Structure 1
Amino acid sequence: MRKKLWTMLFVLVAASAMLFAGGAGETKTTEVPEDIVWVTPDRIGNPNAPITLTYAVDLTYSHQTETVSRREYLTQRMEEWAKAHPNVKLIPQILSNNPSERLAKQLEQAATGMIADAAQIDGQFVPLFYRWLQPIDQFYSEEELDDWFDWCRTEAMVDPADGKLKAVWLLTNTVGLWYDKSAVPNPPESWDEFILTGKDLQSKGYEYGFLTWGGKNEQISYGSVVPMFFALGGDLVDEDDYPVYGAGDNRDKLIEVFKFWKRAVDEGVTPRRILDINNNGDLVSEAKAKSTAMFLGGSWLMSVLADNLGDEIDNWDFANTPHYSADVKMQVPGGYTMGYFTKDAEKLALIVDFMDYVYAGKDGMAGWCSTAGYTPVRDSVFTDYEVFKNDRFQQAFGAALETARLRPNSSNYNIISEHVQEGWQNVILGTQTPEEAVDTAYKKTLNQIR
């Protein structure tokens, strides 16, 4: 609480200094146009404000988004903050929607000092930016920090090298098991149960035992391979960022994951045509058509399923991804953080306050996550806000993410993921054995990073 009061005092003093700057006895106020539009697509706040802040976010996290509900929420919160800070204007920057391109550009901008005052960073890659991120410990009490999920703090928010808070996690998601409770009263927890339950569904008239996204995309790695590999204790890279997923015990563990998927295809529980499932809409369509009662899909599908299934959404639920053993739980979380790069103390205090109000503070996180359909990463948001406390899906997402491990913050991750996706697809297609697929993928990775 003392740190929050310090932050508020800092912002107020800074604002007063700007509003009443000038010579001795001279008062200079920030002019606010009578017909001001507080939020425009390319500006937030008073156009005459003496302080300019920049921030970079994904289009879908921006008030420029075409999604009406998101745009309305963001515009309202941004306008409220801007009116309370007439000495500040913010200029948004939109990030590339290509993950590899985005990461490369952000690293280059950070290294050259050309990055925005604040930037949205994929949680898994935050450690790559630690050397440039500014500490923000003074703005959060220990009690507040403890409110974030443990893996958020240890995996991305706190720099282990100096113990400083370097980013705040905004939200999360994960890929898990969506299932129709009327057909699957108890969700499978192991690979054997997954296949047996799928066969039972097929005996009852369902065309497929279970489905997943199979078109080449990060969701293959994120949802269908890496969680199972991590559950076995596998590592994609070593402590020196060198790929090790195809060597030694890690090779054996990835082969085991590929063998599970080969078994699912060979036993007819999941079809080779999953390779043609290129988006989440395809999975929802299969659920709506009742061709399946189980699929691995993102937690972000909640609203899409509700829109498409109508009242039948009451029959559906979400559970952990099944793994080699029923007593093993492991989810891979996704989601974004906000990192701060400005070295100006006044600007840092203001931009942290703005981002808390819109995205990361308790009210901001509850408002943004409930509007956009994301899962919060603060315990208090789950317990103190009715929209989450009474939402069985959000409670299920939160419960699933109690045991989670991030994909590595490796500069080689996107290369690794691309080759793992290809190997998995070749196993599904039947053109390579699991052993051949792992060895080929690993060889390609090593050749590409040399």
Structure 2
Amino acid sequence: MGSTRTGGRGVVKWRALAATSAALVAAPTIAACGSDGGLEINVYYAPEQNFQTVIDNCNEQANGRYEIVYRKLPRDADGQREQMVRRLAAGDTDLDILGLDVTWVPEFAEAKWLEEWKGENKSDAEAGVLEGPLSTAEWNDKLYAATKNTNVQLLWYDDTVTPQPPETWREMIDMAKDLKAEGKPYQILFTGAQYEGLVVTYNTLVASAGGHILSDDGKSVVMDEGAVEALELLKEVASEGVTNPSLTNAQEQQVQQAFEIPNSEAAFELNWPYVYAAIQTANPERAKNLKWTRYPGIDGPSKVTVGGYNLAVSAYSQHKPEAFEAALCLRSPDSQKFSAIKDGVPPTIESVYTDERPLDPSKPEDAANNPSMVTAYPMRDVILDELQDAAVRPLTVVYQNLSTITSKVLSPPADIDPQGTAEDLRDGLQKALESKGVLP
């Protein structure tokens, strides 16, 4: 995927893992039905390197009844949302299937831009989906989207530097200090820039501390002891001399590159699964020693914030039955498996993680040309472990405003005053919920 959104905002482009597999690739591209006056189903989705192959396969299954057409949105999340919001607000009937960041479903559903999933469509969309990802497709106890892919961050490390990885943040900070004193790679890399990535880091810390930013119904600000403890920890890690000097400018790609460059001073990287494939090309020598484990916790196991994308059907679509059918195909178990292996986006359907078949079941498994989840996705067990006890970002119709305020108040992390910052967040977030004040 070519975007630099944050987990929930998708993943950075998954660099080539394997050659194209015949299982989905063999599907021939059908001649455009639209050119003959046939039925087109437009899917508005972020740039994803191999998504067209998934579409081609679903078009073959449609057998000429309709043609799914890929309408690529801008690479950046703000541009994607802005384009869809403007067109939906105008009642544009050209939009059939919408690719929504996991944080957008409440906003779009509340605006009545999404068709509810009911009956058999709902059952098919929910079948086998992990609880955390599924919750991002719901609003007010109704299903408004089908989960396409999810995402969680892992702790990546070099086992020649730290053979035994830390289990908690404070253990990681102490290890980083010791490594620095020994003149070894020591830095802790995470997304500290003033944007959604910093919000994701904070949300994970809050959830791992057992805290809450908002109430479960998303209607009031909580900012309890766990939220304050997360502020204390964020300040500590940013103030102890164990982060990269560019922390306040670090987004996912900068974090990735700082870990994989030759002679890197980084010992730990907190990032999405795409980095596994990226480092194979960027630094093959360090890739040999790359290991991964569960994201560090605070006083126990972590609760990691899920990202990802959902597929919704526009309330203004003139072809809703076909749009639902097409959306289900685009995020079917086989489609999710293909996208996981080829584009690095973790599945939402639990059974895909244990699918040992190669992409083309008719041919022998080949790690280079016909991989399975086992060979192409070795970190799948850790991802699944985190997803089974994951955290979600606050589900609210004003999430965009909350995110903007939170990233502003938390930046730079080294300047956080836990109690004072907590009060600033309480005030700013409450005003956002009440649609008061001016965004920073």
TM-score normalised per structure 1: 0.75
Deviations 1:185-212 (A, max 9, x none): 3321223211122123223423534121
1:193 matched to which residue of 2? 171
Q: Could you tell me how far apart the structure 2 residues matched to 1:364 and 1:192 are?
A: 40
2:402 matched to which residue of 1? 416
Q: Is the 8 A contact 2:59 2:68 kept in 1?
A: no
Q: Is the 8 A contact 1:237 1:410 kept in 2?
A: no
Report the Cα offset of residue 375 of structure 1: 0.8
2:270 matched to which residue of 1? 296
1:312 matched to which residue of 2? 286
2:423 counterpart of 1:439: yes
Q: Could you tell me how far apart the structure 2 residues matched to 1:183 and 1:420 are?
A: 34
Letter in 2 for 1:195: I
Deviations 1:382-412 (A, max 9, x none): 1124421343223322222221121122233
Counterparts in 2 of 1:279 and 1:404: CA distance versus 1, 3 Å = closer
Q: Could you tell me how far apart the structure 2 residues matched to 1:278 and 1:239 are?
A: 28
Aligned residue for 1:124, secondary structure, equals coil
Report the Cα offset of residue 217 of structure 1: 1.9
Q: Is the 8 A contact 1:286 1:292 kept in 2?
A: yes
Counterparts in 2 of 1:114 and 1:203: CA distance versus 1, 3 Å = same
Aligned residue for 2:246, secondary structure, equals helix
Counterparts in 2 of 1:112 and 1:168: CA distance versus 1, 3 Å = same
Deviations 1:250-273 (A, max 9, x none): 254333222213222443222553
Deviations 1:105-150 (A, max 9, x none): 64565566436221111223323444532324324657x7342112
The counterpart of 1:57, out of the listed 40, 45, 48, is: 45
2:353 matched to which residue of 1? 382
Bigger helix share: 1
Q: Could you tell me how far apart the structure 1 residues matched to 2:423 and 2:36 are?
A: 60
1:371 matched to which residue of 2? 342
2:162 matched to which residue of 1? 184
Q: Could you tell me how far apart the structure 2 residues matched to 1:316 and 1:243 are?
A: 42
2:36 matched to which residue of 1? 48
Aligned residue for 2:155, secondary structure, equals strand
The counterpart of 1:335, out of the listed 286, 308, 324, is: 308
Q: Is the 8 A contact 2:43 2:97 kept in 1?
A: yes
Q: Could you tell me how far apart the structure 2 residues matched to 1:188 and 1:382 are?
A: 25
2:210 matched to which residue of 1? 233
Q: Which runs of 5+ in 1 are unaligned?
A: 1-35, 62-66
Letter in 2 for 1:351: A
1:8 matched to which residue of 2? none
Q: Is the 8 A contact 1:318 1:397 kept in 2?
A: no
Q: Could you tell me how far apart the structure 1 residues matched to 2:51 and 2:402 are?
A: 35
Map residues 10-21 of structure 1 onto 2, 5 A cutoff.
Answer: none
1:119 matched to which residue of 2? 98
Report the Cα offset of residue 381 of structure 1: 1.3
Q: Which runs of 5+ in 2 are unaligned?
A: 1-27, 358-371
Q: Is the 8 A contact 2:126 2:146 kept in 1?
A: no
Aligned residue for 1:171, secondary structure, equals strand
Q: How many residues align?
A: 387
2:21 matched to which residue of 1? none
Deviations 1:6-44 (A, max 9, x none): xxxxxxxxxxxxxxxxxxxxxxxxxxxxxx9846xxxx5
Matched-pair identity in %: 17
The counterpart of 1:215, out of the listed 190, 193, 199, is: 193
Counterparts in 2 of 1:240 and 1:409: CA distance versus 1, 3 Å = closer
2:146 counterpart of 1:134: no
1:396 matched to which residue of 2? 382
Q: Could you tell me how far apart the structure 1 residues matched to 2:332 and 2:344 are?
A: 17
Letter in 2 for 1:233: G
2:17 matched to which residue of 1? none
Q: Could you tell me how far apart the structure 2 residues matched to 1:385 and 1:192 are?
A: 37
Q: Is the 8 A contact 2:92 2:316 kept in 1?
A: no
Letter in 2 for 1:202: K
Report the Cα offset of residue 219 of structure 1: 0.8
Q: Could you tell me how far apart the structure 2 residues matched to 1:161 and 1:302 are?
A: 36
Report the Cα offset of residue 104 of structure 1: 5.9
Q: Which has the higher contact order (CA 8 A, sep 6+)?
A: 2
Report the Cα offset of residue 350 of structure 1: 2.6
The counterpart of 1:355, out of the listed 319, 327, 330, is: 327
Aligned residue for 1:47, secondary structure, equals helix
Instruction: Give the root-mean-square deviation of aligned CA atoms.
Output: 3.2
Q: Is the 8 A contact 2:130 2:387 kept in 1?
A: no
Q: Could you tell me how far apart the structure 2 residues matched to 1:254 and 1:319 are?
A: 24
Q: Could you tell me how far apart the structure 1 residues matched to 2:240 and 2:132 are?
A: 37
Q: Is the 8 A contact 1:265 1:272 kept in 2?
A: no
2:133 counterpart of 1:147: no
Report the Cα offset of residue 171 of structure 1: 0.7
Counterparts in 2 of 1:95 and 1:71: CA distance versus 1, 3 Å = closer
In terms of Rg, which structure is larger?
1
1:10 matched to which residue of 2? none
Report the Cα offset of residue 338 of structure 1: 0.7
Letter in 1 for 2:189: L
Q: Could you tell me how far apart the structure 1 residues matched to 2:284 and 2:247 are?
A: 25
TM-score normalised per structure 2: 0.77
2:363 matched to which residue of 1? none
